[in-house]
Amino acid sequence: MEEMMRRFTLIGNLEDRPMTRLELLTQVGQAEALAVTLADTVDTELLSHAGRLRVVAVYAAGYNNIDLQAATARGIMVTNTPDVLTETTADLTWGLMLAVARKIPEGERLVREARWSGWAPTHVLGSEVHGRTLGIVGMGRIGRAVARRAPGFGMPVLYSSRRALGRDEEQRFNAQAVSLPDLLTAADFVSLHVPLTEHTRHLIGKKELALMRSTAFLINTARGAVVDEAALAEALASGRPAGAGLDVYEHEPDIHPALLRLSNVVLLPHLGSSTAQARLRMGMMVIENITAVLSGGQPPNRVM
Ligand code: DGY
């Protein structure tokens, strides 16, 4: 924010929250650049209020909340913050895998609530992580960063993706490309890393969940709507898959009430990129993108 204030005249919201829709609609008319979060919808209505706008700089890697066609039609560039949060989000993905399989939040609650009466042979039994098969849906930047960590856990990788890994990466990650149904049937952990598009909305629904093993776990640090949340709640309640680790939801910040009642799901509040270091890198990238456009150049991270 200090750097932004140094370079630009800031209008709008300087607080630690996304703007309300009303704030956006009433103030965007003055702006040449708009820095938005993943919670802001940039659509035709908003853009029709934005007569001076030259760039929408998204403070996220994902930009499913932006109507790219409408922006392009008005000559407005759109930028995002790729790369700088890749490893950070991959770390959290592994955190969720470990948390749900080893029941880390459940154990922590027991201790804090003074319900731990001492070591016992079958107390809070989890599932092994090392040596199991990791399925990665979407082998983009974050998918690859998750795969790169798998050899450390001795985990073979199955992946389904539009883009294939190179031979050397497949060897390094012990990874094999398979179809999505084959991945769902065989993997012990299924981790989602596709962007949200019209093709990936509800990619994982009732039919796909039924293919998963009753001992498997679903992990989602991508976008909530890649999974049919109601179908997931139903599947988890019936015990197939065994559990889920979720960082993202279909209608954030609302979460399907049935998920909140289940004990075999670990729920985080969209923390994928939330480290002080990553958020600073993202912010600086937003600033560089805006600076480039306003000085008549090409932004380093233009998506459209
Ligand atoms: C992204 O960049 O898309 C992340 O979800 C933000 O935390």
Mutate to test the pocket of ligand 1, among 36, 37, 38, 289 (most ligand atoms within 8 A of CB): 38
Same domain, 141 and 258: yes
- Establish if 301 belongs to a structural domain: no
- Residue 232's contacts (CB-CB under 8 Å, 6 or more residues apart) are 204, 209, 218, 244, 256, 259
How long a stretch of residues is the chain? 304
Report DSSP letters for 275-303, one per residue.
SHHHHHHHHHHHHHHHHHHHTTS--TTB-
Give yes or no: residues 138 and 231 share one domain.
yes
Degrees (nearest 5) of the Cα angle 29, 69, 163?
Answer: 135
pTM: 0.97
- Identify whether residues 63 and 109 lie together within a single domain: no
> Which domain, by its residues, includes 280?
2-84+275-294
pLDDT at 304 over 90: no
Question: Per-residue pLDDT tens for 113-122?
Answer: 999 999 999 9
Are 50 and 127 in the same domain? no
288 is catalytic: no
Residues 79, 99 share a domain: no
Q: Which residues contact 92 (CB under 8 A, 6 or more apart)?
A: 221, 247, 268, 271, 272, 274
Give the Å distances, CA to CA, from 26 to 47, 78, 106: 12, 21, 45
Residue 296 CA to ligand 1 center (angstroms) comes to 27
The answer to whether residues 47 and 128 belong to one domain is no
Look up 109 and say whether it is catalytic. no
CATH number at residue 14: 3.40.50.720
Q: Please check whether residues 119 and 204 belong to one and the same domain.
A: yes
pLDDT per position as a tens digit, 132-154: 999 999 999 999 999 999 999 99
Nearest CA to ligand 1 atom 4: 60
Please pick, among 49, 213, 252, 281, the residue that the annotation labels catalytic: 252
Give distance in angstroms: CA of 243 to centre of ligand 1.
23
What confidence category does residue 13 fall into, taking pLDDT thresholds of 50, 70 and 90?
A: confident
Same domain, 56 and 93: no
* 300: in domain: no
Nearest-atom number in ligand 1 for the CA of 59 is 2
pLDDT one-digit tens code per residue, 254-296: 999 999 999 999 999 999 999 999 999 999 999 999 999 999 9
Number of domains the chain is built from: 2
Q: Smallest Cα–Cα separation from 51: which of 68, 32, 25, 38?
A: 32
Q: By percentage, how much of the chain surpasses pLDDT 70?
A: 100
The answer to whether residues 11 and 107 belong to one domain is: no
Shared domain for 140 and 259, answered yes or no, is yes
Q: Which amino acid would we find at residue 57? A: A
Same-domain check for residues 288 and 181:
no
Q: What is the pLDDT of residue 32?
A: 98
